[in-house]
């Protein structure tokens, strides 16, 4: 379950990680003989993701390939493959690996050509998507995060990810329709612009509910010729989907 970040989340999480590292030093230092950290990625997939029921081989392969440690600062690099969120600055965190896998898996991306992501954050989720589909469009309302993510993705060689600073609630209408849409912040309702931009047969995944409740529902919508099919997947905790006229709040991306 994703934990909603609070203003003190980074400090609290740092203290918790330091305690963990002091207790389990070998797990935190990583494999110093392998700068690619492939062994850590393999453990992440084998121990955190596969046992929890993720079976899509494209998702598993993507998460084995992508150097997750490149999406966090050097200060938190030791925790890049930790089974939980990690701070990325600006009051935000990179989501728990399993949550990334769960949401990507639920989109059933086989054959998809265009995916829209709302909430770029570190850029890691966009990279996972870009390993599976030809074109990924991603929107981030926090400009420094969008800039940092675009730079990281470019340095890693991704040429099929298109970033934009803006209000994700409105989607990316000029590039619609999308075969899949993924939203990494909660909303009390599904934004109508996103539903409108979903192709027939496409899937949209979003945390739905009041962000100040104990939990929201992770919900999958599938567009049909007659409307939308709705499926509840699990309980999660995300912060609100932010609009331009709202103050930025911390969350997982």
Could you identify the residue written with the tokens 């084995």? 64
Selected catalytic residue, list 95, 122, 186, 187? 95
Query: Using CA atoms, how far apart are residues 95 and 30, in angstroms rounded to an integer?
Result: 20
Cis upstream peptide for 177 (omega within 30°):
yes
Rounded to two decimals, what is the model's pTM? 0.84
Percentage of the residues of the chain whose pLDDT score is greater than 90: 69
Residues 116/180, Cβ–Cβ less than 8 Å? yes
Cβ within 8 Å of residue 227, ≥6 positions away: none
Active site residue 8: no
Q: Looking at domain 9-252, does it have CATH number 3.40.50.150?
A: yes
Q: Where are the domains of the chain?
A: 9-252
Name the band, by pLDDT with cuts 50, 70 and 90, for residue 17: low
More confident residue, 19 or 51: 51
Give the mean model confidence (pLDDT) for residues 124-138: 98
- Residue 28 above 70 pLDDT? no
Look over the chain and give the mean of its residue pLDDT values, rounded to a whole number: 86
């Amino acid at each position: 379950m994703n934990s909603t970040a609070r203003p003190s989340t980074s400090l609290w999480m740092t203290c918790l990680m330091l305690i963990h590292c002091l207790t389990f030093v070998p797990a935190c230092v990583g494999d110093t003989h392998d700068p690619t950290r492939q062994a850590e990625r393999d453990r992440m997939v084998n121990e955190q993701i596969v046992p929890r029921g993720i079976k899509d081989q494209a998702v598993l392969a993507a998460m084995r390939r992508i150097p997750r440690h490149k999406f966090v600062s050097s200060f938190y690099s030791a925790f890049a493959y930790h089974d939980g969120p990690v701070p990325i600055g600006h009051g935000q965190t990179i989501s728990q690996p399993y949550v990334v896998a769960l949401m990507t898996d639920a989109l059933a991306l086989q054959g998809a050509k265009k995916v829209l992501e709302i909430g770029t954050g570190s850029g890691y989720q966009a990279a996972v998507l870009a390993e599976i589909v030809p074109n990924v469009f991603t929107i981030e309302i926090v400009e420094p995060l969008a800039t940092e993510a675009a730079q990281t993705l470019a340095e890693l060689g991704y040429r099929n990810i298109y970033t934009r600073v803006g209000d994700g609630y409105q989607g990316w209408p000029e590039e619609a329709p999308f075969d899949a849409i993924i939203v990494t912040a909660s909303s009390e309702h599904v934004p109508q612009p996103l539903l409108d931009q979903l192709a027939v047969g496409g899937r949209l995944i979003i945390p739905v509910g009041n962000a100040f409740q104990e939990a929201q529902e992770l919900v999958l919508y599938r567009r049909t010729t007659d409307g939308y099919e709705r499926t509840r997947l699990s309980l999660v905790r995300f912060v609100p989907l932010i609009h331009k006229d709202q103050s930025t709040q911390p969350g997982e991306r």
